[in-house]
């Protein structure tokens, strides 16, 4: 993996990282916003401590552990990645309430256009802020966006100590089973 200096990472602040999307996906995973490592590399969930890629594999979504640089391969499995807020920051707490609300509005438009079976938001706090749903919990939600159903997953950041890779994989696997049922 490429090593970046602090200055190179800081230079990635506010960059946009292209979505990995297509029409009619089984699951569209939605991160909070790109971190600086993601923005510097152009690859989603690129920070080494992030557990997204290992959990995706452990849960059975992918047949092998993918590297962030292989993110486009997700499309062949009917999976994609986007974010609630497009701009990169060092920490999610740098985002304003208005950015989350606007991100939720834009995300709903994107989901309506792309029509994935499931929108999977990784991070209950981000979901609550984006969709003004203070009572949301991890798991399937009542809300739908067009014909797309919504599932909230635990945030795979290494900072989320409440969830282990194994317990996250169990929750991701619940979503995978639901997505396979149609």
Nearest to 168 by CA among 61, 69, 81: 61
- What ranges make up the beta strands (E) of 34-147? 79-83, 118-122, 139-145
pLDDT tens column, 147-170: 999 999 998 876 677 899 999 999
Degrees (nearest 5) of the Cα angle 105, 86, 174? Answer: 75
pLDDT tens column, 98-108: 999 999 999 99
Q: What is the pTM of this model?
A: 0.95
**Which residues participate in catalysis according to the annotation?**
33, 44
| pLDDT band per the 50, 70, 90 thresholds, residue 3 | confident
Q: Which residues pair with 121 in a beta bridge?
A: 30, 152
């Amino acid at each position: 993996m490429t090593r970046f200096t602090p200055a190179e990472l800081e230079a990635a602040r506010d960059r946009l990282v292209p979505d990995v999307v297509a029409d009619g996906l089984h699951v569209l995973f939605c991160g909070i916003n790109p971190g600086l490592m993601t923005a510097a590399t152009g690859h989603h969930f690129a920070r080494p401590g992030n557990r997204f890629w290992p959990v995706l594999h452990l849960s059975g979504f992918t047949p092998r552990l993918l590297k962030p640089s292989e993110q486009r391969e997700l499309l062949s499995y009917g999976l994609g990645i986007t974010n609630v807020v497009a701009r990169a920051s060092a920490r999610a707490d740098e985002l304003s309430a208005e950015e989350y609300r606007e991100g939720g509005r834009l995300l709903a438009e994107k989901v309506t256009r792309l029509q994935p079976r499931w929108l999977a938001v990784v991070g209950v706090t981000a979901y609550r802020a984006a969709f003004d749903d203070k009572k949301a919990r991890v798991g399937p939600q009542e809300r739908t966006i067009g014909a797309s159903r919504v599932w909230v997953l635990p945030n795979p950041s290494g900072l989320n100590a409440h969830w282990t890779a194994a317990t996250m994989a169990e929750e991701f696997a619940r979503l995978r089973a639901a997505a396979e049922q149609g």
